[in-house]
Structure 1
């Protein structure tokens, strides 16, 4: 079963972390990536830029409109994800707890139900 593990960042919280804490997060992603690559559970991962450059596109009455900024006003933003292929939801949750961001914010675990 494949699961999407989404990472969300709160810039205000991130700004309160020390350089050592930030480096632990960065290094922790390297460690986590090695873990899931070595176990054969890694499918893919991507890190996303902060939402300052985000464009939101809507089509109303057949005409597209583009706005600067994210779709949802929120304190946190989607900053990256991992897709893992695991034997169970319990394993996906176990892996989510290994992601360093989980020490500071939530990691969402969601089963993938369709892929193209």
Structure 2
């Protein structure tokens, strides 16, 4: 089964609360995730305030700068993971640093 893992970052101040040693360990932790067999790395995204939200109403395209609603968690990145089952995807999601830093990882099966 192939899954998409949507990585949400929680508290934007969480990074500043980490020790220097913890901050230096994060890139290696993400690199280890990307090197896991079955993982297809995605891309990290810019912060939500750089977004443009698009809606179509009555045939008109409307745009709004930034996210449309105030949110505590925002998608910061994603990856794809081909695994035997959901339990394997959950184990991988638990290794993603954002999940331990006030964020969350949403796992969605992909249509095959």
TM (norm. structure 1) is: 0.83
User: CA–CA distance in 1 between the matches of 2:75 and 2:31?
Assistant: 19
Aligned residues: 110
Q: CA RMSD in A?
A: 1.7
Look up the match of 1:8.
8
The answer for unaligned runs of 5 or more in structure 1 is none
Within 2, Cα distance between the matches of 1:42 and 1:81? 11
User: Does the 8 A contact of 1:25 with 1:101 survive in 2?
Assistant: no
* TM value normalised by structure 2: 0.85
Residue-by-residue CA offset, 1:49-69 (whole Å, 9 max, x unaligned): 111210001111111011001
Quote the residue 2:53 is aligned against: 56
Q: Which structure 2 residues correspond to residues 1-116 of structure 1 after superposition, within 5 A?
A: 1-10=1-10, 11-34=12-35, 36=36, 39=37, 41-104=38-101, 105-113=103-111
> Contact 2:3–2:89 at 8 Å: present in 1 too?
yes
Which consecutive unaligned segments of at least 5 residues does structure 2 have? none
Deviates more, 1:100-109 or 1:74-83: 100-109
SS for the counterpart of 1:49 is: coil
- Report the more deviating stretch, 98-107 or 48-57: 98-107
